[in-house]
């Protein structure tokens, strides 16, 4: 007995067989009747439609023999699928491949075999339509043609099965996708190049007051207002084909318009995607009415707390100031000293209130930056002016290395940051010491550096110093007059600008605080350079 070789396209063939999902399925009249017709037409006792799997042959339909699979090694049809045309064995006893086959030497005692390969819609041979007799016989050319016709019929049925399965699969997968889409809390609206809506989820329909399907074909502009398209940024995509986002929008606040014309605030991000059929856009949006109400309450609370705390502090600071200033009479030296302490601590309390309210506002997530193109020279000068008195008092010299760059930033907030860092550097410098502040260009960012020669920062605290109330030495707040919030605020301000802030303290003494800011748009920076 000879075992049939494995077809060249075996793995593709097996995948096609698996995809058709015909193996081990129940009996099907559509195939059964073909085997009945074949047995009658050719007057053979046995006819079968077989599928050749990895290790077995399985009959999808058969007559004249009990349906049961057999090992692939002894399978006749595993030879049939090697060729495009029918395999005919007039007498198995005269064929060395089959003479000792168990189906020849035992039940059902095969003497004659004729098999026509049957193919998947994609072309791979799946098995055969075969005729079997227990006596030797011949087959005419006309009979072979009829056998091929019947095999064609089998293939038609398989193809029909395949299409039905495809449609079912497609419907299933669509249903799965949209069940997920509809259960997402965000509204999802996909629109094509012409701005017309092509697909929406239920969340979007409900939020905007449309019935199922009513939004299809509506222009996107009818339900989206105050969206700044200028804030869409291009991103680089590594590979060209397939559906993928080629533009990523920034999440932003906009106004949603309901079907009845009423509006509500939303947060929306629009991405551009490319498919084989062209490009389209996907807007994902969320109603932020409640969040904005909560933000308003918090803003109001912060504003009231600020006012309520500062009013008594104004009276305390004011009366102490007048007493210390001798406006209401001279003080004994000891009393003068006490009042001085009271003033210093009141000032610290005021700074603490200011810093805490500042950081609350930032953490509430809506620090309003008023960014303009501003020169680093102007930022440094304003910061130096602000710390001059402090530096003079501490006998510390502040030096600058002037590099003129133009950054896109909120000048007030960056001066606040620089004053903070410079103030720390001065406070921790020894008398007669030097603090250096510089600006350099680092890629598409400007990098600010404030260097002192004070006691430095231990390596394990370089990150934690940016946390609230985290100082290198617990007594610093009292001795240095800080609030413990300065660096936390600086970090938030830099973060909001899209920059980064960090501390370096390489040696025993001194540390360098660095932060980056985005440079202004290149064209304008070039103009600035050219005009200088």
Partner 1 sequence: MSGRLLLVDDDDDIRAIARLSLERIGKWDVEAASSGAEAIERVRADPGFDVVLLDVMMPGLDGPSTLERLRDGILPDAVPVIFLTAKIQPADRDYLNALGAAGVIAKPFDPMGLATEVARLVGRE
The contact set with partner 1 (CB under 8 A) reads 303, 306-307, 310-311, 313-319, 321-322, 324-325, 327-328, 346, 350, 354, 361, 368, 370, 412
In this complex, which beta carbon is closest to partner 1, that of residue 198 or of residue 317?
317
Instruction: Report yes or no: 132 and 46 within 8 Å, Cβ to Cβ.
Output: yes
User: What DSSP assignment string belongs to 132-162?
Assistant: EESS-----HHHHHHHHHHHHHHHHHHHHHH
- In whole angstroms, the minimum distance from the beta carbon of 297 to partner 1 comes to 17
- In whole angstroms, the minimum distance from the beta carbon of 422 to partner 1 comes to 19
Burial class of residue 401 (count of CB atoms within 10 Å of its CB; 0-12, 13-18, 19+)? exposed
- In whole angstroms, the minimum distance from the beta carbon of 376 to partner 1 comes to 20
- In whole angstroms, the minimum distance from the beta carbon of 310 to partner 1 comes to 4
Task: Give kind and range of the element (H or E) at residue 214.
Answer: none
In this complex, which beta carbon is closest to partner 1, that of residue 322 or of residue 401?
322
CA 2 to chain centre: 56
Give the pair of three-digit tokens for residue 483: 């609030």
> What's the CA dihedral at 394, 399, 404, 409 to 10 degrees?
-20
In this complex, which beta carbon is closest to partner 1, that of residue 167 or of residue 328?
328
In this complex, which beta carbon is closest to partner 1, that of residue 324 or of residue 446?
324
In this complex, which beta carbon is closest to partner 1, that of residue 168 or of residue 412?
412
Q: In the block, which residue shows the tokens 């605030």?
A: 265
Q: In the block, which residue shows the tokens 């929008």?
A: 249
- In whole angstroms, the minimum distance from the beta carbon of 481 to partner 1 comes to 16
Q: What single-letter DSSP state applies at residue 460?
A: G
> Sign of the CA dihedral 276, 277, 279, 285?
negative
Instruction: Report yes or no: 96 and 79 within 8 Å, Cβ to Cβ.
Output: no
Please list, in sequence order, all residues whose beta carbon lies within 8 angstroms of the beta carbon of residue 207, skipping any fewer than 6 positions away: 187, 256, 258, 287
What is the spatial distance between Cα 127 and Cα 264, in angstroms, rounded to a whole number?
Answer: 63
CA distances from 463 to 42, 240, 507 (A): 88, 40, 17
Please, which residues bridge with residue 244 across strands? 274
In this complex, which beta carbon is closest to partner 1, that of residue 37 or of residue 339?
339
Task: Give kind and range of the element (H or E) at residue 259.
Answer: none
Instruction: Report yes or no: 248 and 235 within 8 Å, Cβ to Cβ.
Output: yes
In this complex, which beta carbon is closest to partner 1, that of residue 115 or of residue 423?
423
CA neighbor of 445 nearest in space, from 518, 529, 524? 518
What's the alpha-carbon Rg for the chain, to the nearest Å? 42
In this complex, which beta carbon is closest to partner 1, that of residue 79 or of residue 413?
413
In this complex, which beta carbon is closest to partner 1, that of residue 165 or of residue 378?
378
- In whole angstroms, the minimum distance from the beta carbon of 514 to partner 1 comes to 25
Which phi and psi (to 5°) does residue 283 adopt? -105, 130
- In whole angstroms, the minimum distance from the beta carbon of 326 to partner 1 comes to 9
In this complex, which beta carbon is closest to partner 1, that of residue 260 or of residue 370?
370
- In whole angstroms, the minimum distance from the beta carbon of 356 to partner 1 comes to 13
Q: What is the three-class DSSP state of 202? A: helix
- In whole angstroms, the minimum distance from the beta carbon of 519 to partner 1 comes to 23
- In whole angstroms, the minimum distance from the beta carbon of 307 to partner 1 comes to 5
CA neighbor of 101 nearest in space, from 78, 81, 75? 75
- In whole angstroms, the minimum distance from the beta carbon of 279 to partner 1 comes to 40
What is the spatial distance between Cα 176 and Cα 182, in angstroms, rounded to a whole number?
Answer: 10
- In whole angstroms, the minimum distance from the beta carbon of 327 to partner 1 comes to 5
In this complex, which beta carbon is closest to partner 1, that of residue 273 or of residue 316?
316
CA 508 to chain centre: 43
In this complex, which beta carbon is closest to partner 1, that of residue 37 or of residue 382?
382
Burial class of residue 191 (count of CB atoms within 10 Å of its CB; 0-12, 13-18, 19+)? buried
């Amino acid at each position: 007995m000879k075992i049939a070789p494995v077809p060249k396209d075996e793995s593709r063939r097996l995948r096609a067989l698996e995809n058709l999902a015909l193996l081990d399925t129940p009996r099907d009249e559509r195939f059964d009747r073909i085997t009945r017709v074949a047995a009658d037409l050719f007057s053979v006792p046995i006819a079968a439609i077989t599928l050749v799997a990895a290790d077995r042959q399985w009959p999808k339909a058969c007559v004249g023999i009990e349906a049961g699979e057999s090992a692939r090694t002894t399978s006749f049809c595993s030879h049939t699928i090697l060729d495009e045309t029918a395999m005919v064995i007039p007498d198995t006893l005269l064929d060395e491949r089959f003479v000792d086959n168990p189906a020849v030497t035992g039940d059902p005692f095969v003497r004659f075999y004729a098999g026509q390969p049957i193919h998947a819609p994609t072309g791979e041979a799946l098995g055969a339509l075969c005729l079997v007799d227990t006596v030797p016989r011949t087959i005419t050319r006309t009979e072979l043609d009829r056998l091929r016709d019947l095999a064609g019929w089998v293939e038609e049925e398989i193809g029909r099965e395949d299409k039905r399965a495809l449609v079912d699969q497609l419907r299933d997968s669509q249903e799965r996708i949209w069940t997920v889409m509809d259960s997402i809390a965000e509204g999802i609206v996909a629109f094509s190049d012409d701005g017309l809506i092509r697909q929406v989820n239920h969340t979007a329909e409900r939020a905007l007051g449309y019935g199922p399907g009513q939004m299809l074909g509506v222009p996107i502009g009818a339900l989206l207002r105050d969206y700044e398209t200028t804030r869409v940024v291009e991103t680089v995509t590594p590979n060209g084909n397939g559906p993928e986002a080629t533009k990523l929008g920034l999440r932003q606040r906009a106004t949603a318009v309901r079907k009845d014309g009423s509006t509500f605030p939303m947060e929306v991000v629009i991405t551009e995607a490319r498919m084989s059929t062209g490009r389209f856009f996907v807007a994902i949006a969320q109603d932020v009415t409640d969040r904005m109400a909560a933000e308003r309450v918090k803003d109001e609370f912060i504003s009231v707390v600020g006012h309520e705390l500062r009013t008594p502090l104004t009276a305390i600071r004011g009366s102490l100031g007048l007493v210390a200033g001798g406006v209401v009479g001279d003080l004994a030296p000891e009393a003068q000293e006490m009042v001085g302490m009271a003033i210093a601590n009141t000032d610290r309390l005021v700074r603490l209130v200011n810093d805490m309210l500042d950081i609350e506002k930032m953490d509430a997530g809506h620090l309003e930056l008023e960014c303009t193109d501003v020169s680093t020279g102007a930022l440094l000068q304003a910061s130096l002016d602000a710390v001059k008195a402090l530096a003079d008092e501490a006998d510390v010299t502040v030096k600058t290395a002037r590099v003129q760059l133009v950054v896109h930033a909120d000048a007030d907030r960056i001066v606040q940051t620089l004053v903070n860092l410079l103030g720390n550097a001065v406070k921790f410098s020894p008398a007669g010491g030097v603090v250096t502040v510089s600006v350099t260009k680092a890629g598409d960012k400007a990098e600010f550096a404030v260097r002192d020669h004070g006691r430095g920062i231990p390596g394990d605290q370089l990150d934690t110093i940016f946390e609230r109330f985290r100082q290198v030495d617990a007594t610093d707040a009292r001795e240095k007059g800080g609030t413990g919030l300065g660096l936390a605020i600086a970090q938030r301000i830099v973060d909001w600008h899209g920059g980064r802030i960090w501390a370096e303290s390489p040696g025993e003494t001194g540390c360098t605080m660095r932060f980056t800011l985005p440079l202004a748009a290149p064209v304008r920076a070039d103009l600035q350079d050219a005009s200088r």
